[in-house]
Amino acid sequence: MKTENRARKNFGQNKKGAIEISANMLVVLIIALVIFAGGITLLYKFISTAETVKMDLDARTEAEIQRLLLEEGKQVALPLNKAELKRGEQKVFGLGVLNTAAPETFIVLVNPAVYIPLQGEEEENPLIGSWVLYDEEPFLLGEQEAKDIPIRVAVPKDGASGTYLFDVSVQKSDGIRYGPIQKIQVDVK
């Protein structure tokens, strides 16, 4: 009889223990799912932000590009091409391209040209290519069609003070330069 009572008691405890384990597992599973969902959400935000860095040209820059391209007939225009930036700041420059001939595919190239430190000698081709972000994909323009291309220059927090020059060129699909090389000047303070 004692063994029977003990068995019933143990059976009741086993049921209770099984329910406690199930409840604990359920709580752990819910917490894990919440953390996982939060991680996925953050990852999605980081990736979407990195892929769609919004680079808007202000109205003044767009108007100046249109004036240079359409009124003055320039093939390539980069107005307002100088900026004074502090470390950690960024600036969006606007490049305009006007196709004056038959439909053609173009590509924009932005290359670091010269770094002039506040003191010392200038360096050619400094390693600052990562400072520049723009659409590197070729684009098609019809006859007399124009396109504005935003070019973002972001100075890192550890960027050295001085003047940085970037060469901006536009090439046709056959590799021949289209219009004159433009310059971007960034003075880092």
Structural domain includes residue 36: no
Q: Which residues contact 25 (CB under 8 A, 6 or more apart)?
A: none
Structural domain includes residue 46: no
Rg, the chain, Cα only = 30
Q: What is the mean pLDDT of residues 8-34?
A: 73
Structural domain includes residue 1: no
Output the CA–CA distances (angstroms, integers) from residue 101 to 71, 142, 146, in the order listed: 17, 8, 12
pTM value?
A: 0.67
Do 131 and 165 form a contact (C-beta atoms < 8 A)? no
Answer whether residue 130 shows pLDDT above 80.
yes
Structural domain includes residue 23: no
- pLDDT at position 56: 62
Answer whether residue 32 shows pLDDT above 60.
yes
* % of residues, the chain, pLDDT over 70: 82
Structural domain includes residue 8: no
In this predicted model, what pLDDT tens digit does every residue of 38-61 receive, in sequence order? 888 888 776 665 444 445 667 778
The beta-strand segments (E) located in 58-172 are 76-77, 82-85, 90-98, 104-117, 123-124, 132-133, 139-141, 146-154, 162-172
Residue 113 domain boundaries: 59-188
What single DSSP character describes residue 69?
I
Domain CATH code at residue 159: 2.60.40.10
Structural domain includes residue 38: no
Q: What is the mean pLDDT of residues 125-148?
A: 89
Q: Taking the CB of residue 150, how many other CB atoms lie within 10 A of it?
A: 17
State how many domains the chain has. Answer: 1
